[in-house]
Structure 1
Amino acid sequence: MTANDALVTFRGVQKTYDGTSLVVRDLNLDIQRGEFLSLLGPSGSGKTTTLMMLAGFESPTAGEISLGGVPITRTPPHKRNFGMVFQNYALFPHMTVADNIAYPLTVRKLGQSEREAKVKRALDMVQMGAMGARFPAQLSGGQQQRVALARALVFDPQLVLMDEPLGALDKQLREHMQIELKALHRRLGVTFVYVTHDQAEALTMSDRVAVFSDGRIQQIDRVDCLYETPVNRFVASFVGDNAVLDATVHTTTGEHCEVRMPNGALLRGVNVNRANVGDRVQCSVRPERIELAEAGSANTLPGQVMDVIYFGDHLRLRCQMGAEAEVMVKLALNHPAVPTPGHTVHLHAPPQHMRVYL
């Protein structure tokens, strides 16, 4: 997709609250029409400030935000016509569910019959058709979240902004709502921009994810690319689990390099940041990519099994690699030879899945 297809563009956007430290630094971002984009990052990384600038609740210190090619940096929030869903739902407690959902339509002065038809459609959309007469206090957290979502969608916005909307729900309900939200997005084709610090949530729901750290986007990519090919140490460590080992670059050949481990072993991997011979680096492998191998196999290190942990759908081996960090290995429940604690195992990291970072 090109920038011309983008619904929203950020160009050179910065934000500071105190005039010295930048919360958002030189942000350039294209949000495509109809996509589900998640802004993912730890607290203080700039993701929520970015969403609030898009919503109009915060103003950029520098740069320009455009909608469909038209600058909206100085357009007030109520004229941007975006749906918004907050973590705390922000429902009016004295209004019924139907009146809460109708509120954006009332503000826009729609007639009663059109209002009622749109509210009914929005209630059905979130599977709460029979609950229009109830009050928020009579609803569970998950039901209140559905009402907040229906209110954000009822006036057919071209963009829906969500700030950690599932954060207050318990794990099972949150996972259920993730699947429902994704299905709803696919059905409606509306552009969703979703802020979260939960990487599993971002991977489950999004078409693309922008990973924030220190006010910058570290990587923006499709979820599979983000998980399989992180561009730096931060993204590798923040998105998913990793086995991480320190090493020194021994040789380099094109996109690959050979690294020397503290025990003298040589391993081969992808030289992500073009490290040079002698550079100290971190080697990163996803736990599900590590295989149990025979002693002496290529790209293999010995480790001692400290623990075997049952995770329901898989097993994890906690292994001590010499004097270095512990490494987690994922194994299928039906793995033919699960070692027991105290045993020495030989862990093979396939070169194409071992990523070497400066």
Structure 2
Amino acid sequence: MTHAEPLVRFSGVQKTYDGEQLVVRALNLDIQRGEFLSLLGPSGSGKTTTLMMLAGFESPTSGDILLNGKQITGTPPHKRNFGMVFQNYALFPHLTVGENVAYPLTVRKVPKAEQAERVKKALDMVRLSGMADRLPTRLSGGQQQRVALARALVFNPQLVLMDEPLGALDKQLREHMQIELKELHRQLGVTFVYVTHDQGEALTMSDRVAVFNEGIIQQLADVESLYETPSNRFVAGFVGDSTVLTGTLQTQGADAGLQLPSGQWLQGVNVNQAPQGAAVEASIRPERIVLHPSGASTGPNAVPATVARAIYYGDHLRLMCDIGPGQAQATVKLPLTRADANPHPQPGAQVQLEFPPISTRIYAL
């Protein structure tokens, strides 16, 4: 991203509803022009409240929200000129598709002839050409969501805010709409701010993701960095699958590592600079673990394991492995890309799991 002035800046923003508990605390966030930024987190983490403060439906208890360098904390929603898309579509049932899409233009007193032209363009954009005269109730959920999107884009807003817009759709349609939304964003170059609790959705569409928990951004990064180098235990556990090992932090020379209760030492990355002897967790992505047959020659970062379950997913096989007392089962993903001459490990098989040091990320408890 460029270092030009951001489109939106949250500076020291806090929000409380009861005067005691902070729903959003000390939020500093820059939103760059033209980016697709997702606010990701569990329920109650502060992501929707942040979006509502940006939209103007909620006011910060303290701190500033700037748009193009100007304070907008006191600006009412309709004067912010942002497009909004909600999970429940919020379409007017008694108005046709065309009238729904034209509504923001009518409010802005755009001449009728120009309205017709812009509505047609917006419906073409979301692939609903020729549906202007239908009522929303005659459309599928996916089509209704596209109408809501066309309505949010028709007045050329500088910012489009979306609150779980695909949450009501079935899995296949949701995945299809994710690709369409990302493509639309690429074509238009408008800034999108997208709230979701679905990590896959955030990774699929975003340029950057802000991971929220307990009112604080835990990590703000591009999707690859977020997945490969989570900055703390929460992000490692919330974004993507992880195998987690517990033990104590022990250094050997210049190298940090995890000492398992069995006494075995596994080299890793000491992410939060945990001190020597501290209780720690190591987190590793299941597809980074290398599976070896029992008795095979491996590097020092391998532990013996027993396959407890093998689950077939079509494109990969997921093995649940027991790795010793006091440890959760390790999950290993084996890609299934071709007819494999070797039979896959079955429950009860003895194997060795190798944890590459660069992918073994150690976090203080």
Report the 3-state secondary structure (helix = DSSP H, G, I; strand = E; otherwise coil) of the residue aligned with 2:287.
Answer: helix
Superposition TM-score, scaled by structure 2 size: 0.96
Corresponding residue of 1:317: 319
Tell me what 2:363 maps to: 357
| Deviation beyond 6 Å, 4+ runs, structure 1 | none
Deviation at 1:297, TM superposition (A): 3.0
Residue among 325, 335, 353 paired with 1:347:
353
The answer for the alignment partner of 2:98 in structure 1 is 98
**Superposition RMSD in Å:** 1.1
Specify the alignment match of 1:78 in structure 2: 78
Structure 1 window deviating more from structure 2 (318-327 vs 79-88): it is: 318-327
Is 1:54 aligned with 2:57? no
Letter in 1 for 2:173: L
Determine the structure 2 residue equivalent to 1:289: 288
Unaligned runs of 5+ in 1: none
- Please give the secondary structure, in 1, of the residue aligned with 2:53: helix
TM-aligned CA deviation for residue 32 of structure 1: 0.1
Determine the C-alpha separation between the residues in 1 that align with 2:228 and 2:236. Answer: 9
**Matches of 2:54 and 2:352, distance apart in 1:** 50
Q: How does 1:263-274 map to 2 (within 5 A)?
A: 263-274=262-273
Deviation at 1:296, TM superposition (A): 5.4
SS of 1:15's equivalent in the other structure is strand
User: What is the rounded CA distance, in whole Å, between the counterparts of 2:214 and 2:112 in structure 1?
Assistant: 48
TM-score by length of 1: 0.98
Question: Is the contact between residue 270 and residue 356 of structure 1 (CA under 8 Å) also seen in structure 2?
Answer: yes
State the aligned residue count. 357
Structure 1 CA distance for aligned equivalents of residues 162 and 82 of structure 2 = 10
Looking at structure 2, the residues matched to 209 and 235 of structure 1 have their Cα atoms a distance apart, in angstroms, of 11
Q: SS at the partner of 2:7?
A: strand
List aligned pairs for 1:1-358, cutoff 5 A.
1=1, 4-251=4-251, 256-293=255-292, 294=296, 297-323=299-325, 324-333=327-336, 334=338, 336-358=342-364
Q: Could you tell me how far apart the structure 2 residues matched to 1:2 and 1:123 are?
A: 32
The Cα of 1:75 is off from its aligned counterpart by: 0.2
Three-state SS of the structure 1 residue aligned to 2:25 is: strand
Contact 1:104 1:155 in 2 (8 A): yes
Q: Distance in 2 between matches of 1:209 and 1:301?
A: 34
- Contact 2:257–2:362 (CA under 8 A) maintained in structure 1: no
Post-superposition offset of 1:2: 5.8
Q: CA deviation at 1:338?
A: 1.7
Matching residue's letter, 1:182: K
Give the CA deviation at 1:87: 0.2
Deviation at 1:43, TM superposition (A): 0.2
Moved more, 243-252 or 288-297: 288-297
What's the CA shift for 1:253?
5.6
